Amino acid sequence: MLKNFDDIQKLGKDNMDTCMKQFGTVSKGFQAIATEFADYSKKSFEEGSAALEKLLGAKSLEKAIEVQSEYAKAAYESFVAEATKMGELYTDLARESYKPLEGMIAKVAPAK
């Protein structure tokens, strides 16, 4: 009886350790995502402000259209690059948060 209790206690400790590792990984991943989002937001705001200043300083309609076109192109390219980077961060988060569970799943899953 005492051996079974020790096994159950060890299993509980192992599961708690796995959960804590996973929580740490998820926490770091979300922190990286939040930091990246904040940096992108700041950069986007600064670029938008600079484009508005150029737009307000335009002397002709043609120059205003040129400034707007340049800003739209740069904003689109920046958005696509950021979306790709965020997608990679989420993929890495999913991959890394699953790693601590692999050992626990291997113990439970039947061998093939």
pLDDT tens profile 40-51: 999 999 999 999
pLDDT tens profile 70-101: 999 999 999 999 999 999 999 999 998 888 77
The DSSP code sequence of 47-71 is: HHHHHHHHHHT-SSHHHHHHHHHHH
Pick from 10, 12, 23, 14: which is nearest to 103 by CA? 14
Query: pTM for the full model?
Result: 0.75
| Dihedrals phi, psi of 59, to nearest 5 degrees | -90, -15
Residues listed for the chain: 112
